[in-house]
Amino acid sequence: MSLRDTTVRSLLVLTSSLFVLPGGSASGAQESAASSSSVQVPPDTYENPALAELMRRVRAARTTAATGLDTYAATLKHRVYVGLTARRFRRERGIFEQERIGRVRWSSDGSELIEWQGMRATAPIMGLDTRRGDHVSDSDHFSTRASTEMAEDLTEELLEEDKINAFDLDPFADRLWIESDEVVHPLADDAPLHYRYLAGDTLELDLPGDLRDIVLFEVRVEPRRTDFNLIAASLWIDSESDALVRAGYRPARPFNMGMDAPDDEAEVPGWLRGRLEMEISYVAVEYSLHEMEYWLPRRYAFDGEARFVGLVELPVTLEWSLSQYSVNDGVPATAPEAPPLGWRMRTYGPDSPDRDSLAADRPAEDTLRPTRTIMIPPAPELLNHPELSGNQVGNDELFTFSEFEVSSLTSHIDLVHPRLRRTARRYFWGLDRNLFRYNRVEGLSLGAATELPIGSLWTVTGSARIGTGDLLPYATVGIRRAGRAGEWSFKAFHELRTMSDTHDPFTFGSTLSGLIFGNDRGEYFRAAGIETGYEVGGRTSWSLAAFAERHASVELGSTFSLRSLFGDKEFPPVLPADDGNYLGVRASMKWFSGLDPNELVVTGSLYGEAATGEIDYSRLQAALSLSHPLTFRLAGAIEVAGGHSWGAQLPMQRRYFLGDESFRGTLTNELTGDSFWRTRGEVATGLAAARIGLFTDVGAVGSGRDRLSDPLVSAGVGFSLLDGIYRIDIAKGIRGIDRWRLHFYMDGIL
């Protein structure tokens, strides 16, 4: 199975097969089993009688919008992108991106002709790119061969493709591009049982000369229930032809496999159950008017995300546009007698076998005219088409719709979208959300959590746990309000926290390390109070919160580990916190630029906190990293970071702690102080799929200029997989450190 099979197809099916992938000449969801005369329309379905009459005409016209059209041809530009990110990652990685350009033709007898002219594909996370030779790293034999094989696989798939993702040549196909029978189409005969229809805006277009003015009516479609198979939509209707000419929509809520497909979830590995969600931000489609009679597809955009909750997120973008139309030109969509020299041609039809030919060996007497014909030029011509977008991997600016257009369209959808995140209580225990954990304070700590949606925007959350060590109950109760832009939250809590900004001792990996090997160097304190905040996600994410808390020291609560049964391994004591009440604010921001490891990638983060109370303090830290290909088939990266504090002193629990992967060659939380600076440099082999290289870390942590001017130095060799997602480093202290250390972590800079 090829790379595209294992990425694009699976992820597109995962995120969008319920809603947007077309099939055949009409949507199955659009054809309702119930006739319009047999449907008992609820009295609140239409806002007014005029709207009811308009929707009746729209339903009648949904299969006649292209009546009288004999042929059309157009230039198709199609792009799909799939990424990978996680909450704690410094940046998103690109899994796959493909862009293609071709000339398509359709005839009223159903014949289709597709002449692909250009195709570009990248797998950034692997360092592969069909534009081989554009980058120094591509001169590597392995990457060149792998990129060539990827290009060959994708070229073959273009010939074998029975349908294009989210696109259909047939102008009589569903105009909303909904395929799945699971989705209730808003133009289906029984749709009034599931939707309410509201009158929206009116748009008038004054055309020059004797051309008729165009008047568009907006119909807002409101789902009656927050079911995943209903959509909220903004539909724009041509007043003269009753044709749907523009639309924006999204499902009434995200899909959750545990709630919506429990039978399918039974086949998912246990540690993933309850975690799989799919959310579509928007689907936008627009038509253009030709010969003042035919509304034909112009552009389409889809944006969604698959989530393994608490693990990773997979953003998906798909868009296409049709331009340079030729309508009713009398040229049928039939295959040529023979393709141009060097081109490949494959034909499909109900009355003929599939055929694949090169111009050099296709029989001249073969005059077969199939239903569907696909043609592809020689590889150099296909891969180097001048209209391909170049090095814009994962570009978050669509070529179809502008940011303003998307914002306007989604704002109309928001007016009728319930925005309910979930429809039932959710319970978590065990490994979910680190509710099973072990550390030297709590001992073995078991917990449970729940989420309860109330209304259309709010979710109440709660969690509780207790450990065998300190025997103290911990609990959190909160409420969240979800919006399209961000999320507001409030919580009251009594919880165990870590002092470190860089090390999380509550992960499953830390639990195993402590329980088996007795390695728990986390530093802890107890916090109780309230907090309210607002958070916005995306490629530039930020958060702002205000808090009122009481901090208290904790003591060693457990000394058990499997290693202690066979030796004298003991846990170290816990650093005492500065007890007291604190009132303050904290803010953070993360951003990145660049997804292609064959180009410049920049990441940055900023965190600040200020509080008054037992000890008044403020602290600010920042980090910046850059990576870029080098000569001799290498790649290089550099990262600089620093933090400073103001006030007489920092509370112990708010000091800077560095160690382990944050300063290689040291132990976890070994370095602590009121201020710090550090820098690291790396040089590695250039292929992102698997790298080996050298690194060095230089930095200092302390409370005065003398300490900060006396840096520590370490160096070593590192291994990384999948553009730095997985990282293993062997480090040796050179100055101020005298030991070897092995580090395994995720999200490296190379």
Residue 12 lies inside a defined structural domain of this protein: yes
Residue 733 pLDDT: 95
410 and 451 belong to one structural domain: no
Instruction: Say whether both 442 and 393 belong to one domain.
Output: no
* Residue 651, token pair as written in the block: 């509370």
Among candidates 78, 67, 525, which has minimal Cα distance to 321? 78
- Residue 673 placed within a domain: no
Residue 94 lies in a domain: yes
Examine the domain organization and report whether 248 and 372 are in the same domain: yes
User: Are residues 404 and 436 both part of a single domain?
Assistant: no
Distance between CA 452 and CA 459 in Å, rounded? Answer: 5
Does this model's pTM top 0.75?
yes
Stronger pLDDT, 394 or 644, i.e. the higher one = 644
Asked whether residue 369 carries a pLDDT value surpassing 50, the answer given is: no
- The whole-number pLDDT of residue 212 equals 82
Pairing assessment for the beta strands 294-308 and 276-290 based on DSSP bridges = antiparallel
In this structure, the answer to whether residues 159 and 222 fall within a common structural domain is: yes
Q: Is residue 393 part of a domain?
A: yes
Asked if the structure places residue 283 within a domain, the reply is yes
Tell which wins on pLDDT, 537 or 248. Answer: 248
Among 576, 609, 629, the domain boundary falls at 576
For residue 326, list its beta bridge partners: 73
Q: Are residues 125 and 174 in the same domain?
A: yes
Q: Are 39 and 33 in contact (CB under 8 A)?
A: no
Domain assignment of residue 245, given as a range? 3-33+44-414
Check residue 538 and give its pLDDT.
83
Do 145 and 178 fall within a single domain?
Answer: yes
- Assess if residue 446 is contained within a domain: yes
Question: Are 391 and 439 within one domain?
Answer: no
Residues 361 and 326 in one domain: yes
716 domain residue, yes or no: no
Please identify, among 365, 385, 414, the residue that sits at the C-terminal boundary of a domain. Answer: 414
Query: DSSP letters along 697-745, please?
Result: EEEEEESSHHHHTS-EEEEEEEEEETTTTEEEEEEEEEES---EEEEEE
In a domain, 281, yes or no: yes
Helix, strand or coil, per DSSP, at residue 407:
helix
Collapse the DSSP code of 165 into the 3-class scheme (helix H, G, I; strand E, B; otherwise coil) and give the result.
Answer: coil
- Name the pLDDT band for 274 (thresholds 50, 70, 90): low
Lowest mean per-residue pLDDT among 338-342, 588-592, 652-656: 338-342
pLDDT score of 367 = 42
Total of domains in the chain: 2
Residues near 59 by Cβ (< 8 Å), separated by ≥ 6? 36, 187, 189
Q: What is the structure's pLDDT at 14?
A: 45
Between 669 and 33, the higher pLDDT residue: 669
Mean pLDDT of 677-703: 94
Same domain as 374, residue 256:
yes
Residues 339 and 475 in one domain: no
Q: Are residues 248 and 178 in the same domain?
A: yes
What average pLDDT does the segment 29-35 reach?
44
pLDDT digits (tens, 9 = 90+) for 512-521: 999 998 899 9
Q: Is 558 left (phi over 0), alpha (psi -120 to 50) or beta?
A: beta
Place 132 in a pLDDT band, splitting at 50, 70 and 90.
Answer: low
Residue type, 614: E
Among 390, 414, 438, the domain-final residue is 414
